[in-house]
Amino acid sequence: MKNVEKRIEELRDQIRHHDWRYYALSQPEISDKEYDDLLKELKELEAKHPELITLDSPTQRLTNVLQKGFKTVKHAVKMFSLDNAYSYDEIKNWDERVHKGLNSERSRRIEYVAELKIDGLSIALTYKKGILELGATRGDGETGENVTFNVRTIPAIPLKLLTDNPPQILEVRGEVYMPKQEFERLNKERKKQGENLFANPRNAASGSLKLLDTKITALRNLSCLIHSFGIIEGMKIERQYEFLNLAKKWSLRINPDFKLCKNLDEVFDFCKSYDLE
């Protein structure tokens, strides 16, 4: 029995490692077939020994839950909405307000992290001792909807962090979104079935995450990018750049298009490098 337990843990660790390589780093080390073989072996062993199944096992993403509704949960730290700027002058004015609000010493040490914004549905993920416990929508910022079962179906969201020393409690924020190719595939299917088409990928992602049938959510191939945190208990993180690199090590998927900028000119250079006009 000990050999079986050991093999199950080995398989889980291997699968988590390859999930991290694929989703967080975009650097897969094995083929899809090799990955599927690992998952198949794990499923077979767990089927023979159901007493060894744990909620954080890679086989437990889809729990075939037909929900009656979503309970309301209160965020431990308020989720604020992002403000917009539509010109470089607006960014300069914001930068001036930032400097004005700080003392001269801190003002001299300001750096910015520039990253691309993903247009999706805001999500808060809570991990306790490295295990995913809760997935909640932003809602009104103070309270959101508990969509944990649906969140668990998203392969880009790890059920267990890839670290031997996780924070006691970690709450991260991100965006659940639908890749464009999946959006096009879904609308093509809906058109064949005579169903109403989704207006855009954001609406499709939002509607998919709030479905009561987790099996349908799983078929929508949603993804997720983490951009910030609300709580990291027992660990002091003061810089956004530090958090993003730590999140990636923990197997949380972040937007690869981010840059540490020493000043506002570097922020503008980053923006211009993506300017399509």
DSSP SS3 for 186: helix
Q: Position of tokens 């993920």?
A: 125
Specify whether the CB–CB gap between 170 and 126 falls below 8 A.
Answer: yes
Q: 126 and 134 in contact (C-beta within 8 Å)? A: yes
Instruction: Please identify every residue annotated as catalytic.
Output: 117
Token output for 18: 């390859």
How far apart CA 123 and CA 211 sit, in angstroms, is 15
Specify whether the CB–CB gap between 255 and 227 falls below 8 A: yes
Cα 187 → chain centroid: 24
Query: Is 18 in a helix, a strand, or coil?
Result: helix
Distance from chain centroid for Cα 27: 18
Backbone angles phi, psi at 78, to 5 degrees: -55, 140
